[in-house]
């Protein structure tokens, strides 16, 4: 796929694709029947000029797009507007674009929480592979401008009727602090496991050494015990015979 597609941060030279980007976003929203927020040409142009958009091309043909937005004074970052032209779907392009947008977000906003709203199972799978986890809407940004963007979605009434607690979309969040804590705890857990494993191994090894150092197994011990018993009986009868002959 790397040989077929150009996937990188969009530049000024890519402004010629703005109308096509907007048409693809609108088409995707109609097909899904749910939520890609409508954006103006000026908004997409701004994202490209700010270096906050990812574009995919095959030669000079537009293939896909995604952009990043910040909310709540840069505390939250969203990778939004992920689209792939229908002719190029099924080639792993959405994942490649999303991964590029994720890397750009982490580079520019390393301490921010990354989040997204989606109804697509494919996007959920990609998000999960990147480290996102499903969360309630209460864990997402409370920036009113973000939620205002949902007004163009056909399901906006569901969001308002539930007091913004849930909708048809699934909220997903990547929290760098949570991931860092998890990464720090895993080596500790692994270390405990390794110590336990070494202890178990030493127990078995010591057991084998003791067994190997004693040539007498259970069968030999039993034979030895039986032999002692027989010797004891012989000695007893010998004493009886000596007493008998002494009369």
The dihedral through the CA atoms of 140, 30, 32, 124 has a sign that is negative
pLDDT in tens, 157-182: 999 999 999 898 899 999 999 998 88
**CA 186, CA 170: separation in Å to the nearest integer?**
28
Q: What is the four-CA torsion angle of 217, 219, 222, 228, rounded to 10 degrees?
A: -80
pLDDT in tens, the chain (247 residues): 445 899 999 999 999 999 999 999 888 877 766 556 678 999 999 999 999 999 999 999 999 999 999 999 999 999 988 999 999 999 999 999 999 999 999 999 999 999 999 888 888 999 999 999 999 999 999 999 999 888 878 888 999 999 999 898 899 999 999 998 888 887 665 666 677 677 667 766 666 666 565 555 555 555 565 665 556 555 544 554 544 444 3
Question: Which pTM does this prediction carry?
Answer: 0.70
pLDDT at 95: 95
Q: Are 171 and 139 in contact (CB under 8 A)?
A: yes
**CA 208, CA 179: separation in Å to the nearest integer?**
43
> What would the CATH number be for the domain defined by 6-174?
3.40.630.30
Q: Are 155 and 36 in contact (CB under 8 A)?
A: no
pLDDT at 193: 62
Domain ranges of the chain: 6-174, 217-247
**CA 80, CA 63: separation in Å to the nearest integer?**
16
pLDDT at 245: 40
pLDDT at 243: 44
């Amino acid at each position: 796929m790397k040989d077929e597609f150009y996937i990188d941060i969009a530049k000024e030279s890519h402004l010629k694709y703005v109308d096509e980007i907007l048409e693809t976003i609108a088409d995707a929203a109609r097909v899904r029947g749910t939520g890609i927020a409508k954006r103006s040409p000026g908004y997409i142009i701004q994202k490209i000029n700010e270096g906050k958009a990812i574009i995919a091309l095959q030669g000079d043909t537009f293939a896909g797009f995604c952009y990043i937005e910040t909310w709540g004074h840069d505390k939250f970052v969203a990778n939004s507007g992920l689209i792939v032209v229908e002719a190029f779907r099924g080639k792993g392009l959405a994942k490649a674009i999303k991964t590029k947008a994720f890397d750009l977000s982490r580079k520019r906003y390393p301490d921010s929480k990354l989040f997204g709203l989606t109804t697509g199972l494919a996007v959920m799978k990609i998000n999960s592979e990147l480290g996102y986890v499903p969360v309630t809407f209460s864990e997402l940004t409370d920036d009113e401008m973000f939620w205002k963007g949902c007004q163009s979605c056909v399901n906006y009434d569901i969001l308002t009727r539930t007091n913004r607690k849930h909708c048809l979309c699934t909220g997903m969040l990547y929290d760098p602090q949570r991931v860092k804590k998890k990464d720090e705890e895993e080596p500790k857990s692994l270390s405990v496991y390794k110590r336990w494993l070494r202890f178990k191994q030493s127990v078995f090894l010591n057991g084998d050494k003791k067994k190997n150092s004693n040539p007498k197994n259970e069968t030999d011990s039993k034979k030895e015990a039986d032999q002692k018993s027989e010797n004891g009986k012989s000695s007893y009868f010998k004493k009886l015979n000596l007493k008998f002959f002494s009369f």
